[in-house]
Structure 1
């Protein structure tokens, strides 16, 4: 009987571990990076340092209250993490990004640990789970506490995604506004809609705000694309806030667009 109970216990642990890896795929990829669960972070909220490693635009849209924004892509990321450690020698540093499939929190924690910043962990549930469970400790478009009903769920986001080929065909029609939301480095001088599109990176809030205001005023349908089809999700909050309802994003961004072109070219050979 004891052997059977022991076997069943091990089986339950194995099943639980497999389920956790399915829900948090990064945990099996970043075995060297410690993580912290949502409930534990909520309990230790006042005693840890929280670092949002996403872009400034994403941070300005929605972030954990009291979190510091140090983008993983910043050239001084490691230096700033060292400064944070020196200023808070005994506190755990917690990194986070968008959600369970976002790898930036793991990458940020690993990079800091490998460069000598000790006691860094990943909060891999991300901002969306936190905001839904801790609205009083979250900031949405500068307001806190936030109303959980104003959070845009992934299924709602997907309703505004269209395949690259459909996006291109629809966007080219008269009366639509096309916006290239990539940053200058991602763009590298290449435009999908030469002479027709507006260029306004997500970081250029002034120009993007002007385009959104124009669409709200004229009723134009907005067709907006980025590099990977993910960052535009955060633009939805600005669009909805300004009353723009007719807008679409390119599913997969330019990465998917060029992949499709390569596949078609290969078939032609």
Structure 2
């Protein structure tokens, strides 16, 4: 599925800038460098510890999805380690994402003897090895298909601008993509929003998107902390949506401004 994008992800940091390595240096979880992993894919089992939605959007080819948040995480990774007989290498989004380290530590607590981390993250991998990366279920092939940070920021509005654009829009579609637990039954837009949690098949969201496009209605999305929308953008671009906006910082920013955090 071609996205029709010629944008590079430019948010990568220098190769020697790994702020979490010192923090986790003493816990016995060694990092794996990009080219080391690339040359050892047959000898290591790669585990994506992020959410299923992030995994389905972009992941290392042949990586096994075992979200850190899953209830049976320990049992699953231990079973995988025994089945593969290989070291498990955990990854998440990038050098400031601690999910990979937390997953490796939890795996060791569950009995996995050889747990490592690829802390450069999925975007660094996709840039270096697009041929071994999957985007929206298809081979990435070229890093040009990644969405640049600047292209993401073009659709992000701070709280004041977000509300102002909604008020000035004709028949805006406001979508709260938080999970049921995150939303906790609270509408931040006086029940004018639709609650459509992200799912791997985007079935409900897809119908809403197609209707909004047909009626030329702008779409406004709110997540928990402003991170989920980064992955949602790939789906929106693939569908050809042009009028869409994200709330900077997500619902947490609204709660903060209300003095609730």
TM-score w.r.t. structure 1 length? 0.86
Pairing 1:25–2:41 present: no
Q: Which runs of 5+ in 2 are unaligned?
A: 1-13
| Bigger mean CA offset, 216-225 vs 68-77 | 216-225
Alpha-carbon contact 1:183-1:203 (below 8 Å) kept: no
| Bigger mean CA offset, 116-125 vs 145-154 | 145-154
TM-fit CA distance, 1:20: 6.5
* Partner residue in 2 for 1:113: 108
Secondary structure of residue in 2 paired with 1:179: strand
Structure label with greater radius of gyration: 1
- Please give the alpha-carbon distance, in whole angstroms, between the structure 2 residues aligned to 1:201 and 1:254: 14
Alpha-carbon contact 2:155-2:244 (below 8 Å) kept: yes
* Partner residue in 1 for 2:171: 175
TM-fit CA distance, 1:29: 2.3
Pairing 1:245–2:242 present: yes
Q: After TM superposition, list the pairs within 5 Å mapping 1:182-193 onto structure 2.
A: 182-193=178-189
TM-fit CA distance, 1:70: 0.5
Which of the residues 160, 163, 168 maps onto 1:165? 160
Pairing 1:128–2:113 present: no
- Please give the alpha-carbon distance, in whole angstroms, between the structure 1 residues aligned to 2:84 and 2:63: 14
TM-score w.r.t. structure 2 length? 0.88
| Bigger mean CA offset, 49-58 vs 170-179 | 170-179
* Partner residue in 2 for 1:49: 45
- Please give the alpha-carbon distance, in whole angstroms, between the structure 2 residues aligned to 1:124 and 1:214: 40
Q: Give the 4+ runs in structure 1 shifted more than 6 A.
A: none
* Partner residue in 2 for 1:196: 192
Which of the residues 36, 61, 68 maps onto 1:65? 61
Secondary structure of residue in 2 paired with 1:25: coil
Q: Comparing both structures, which one devotes a greater share of its residues to helix?
A: 1
Structure with larger RCO (C-alpha < 8 A, sep 6+): 2
| Bigger mean CA offset, 159-168 vs 43-52 | 159-168
* Partner residue in 2 for 1:156: 151
- Please give the alpha-carbon distance, in whole angstroms, between the structure 1 residues aligned to 2:187 and 2:236: 23
* Partner residue in 1 for 2:225: 228
- Please give the alpha-carbon distance, in whole angstroms, between the structure 2 residues aligned to 1:50 and 1:202: 24
Alpha-carbon contact 2:75-2:110 (below 8 Å) kept: no
TM-fit CA distance, 1:115: 2.5
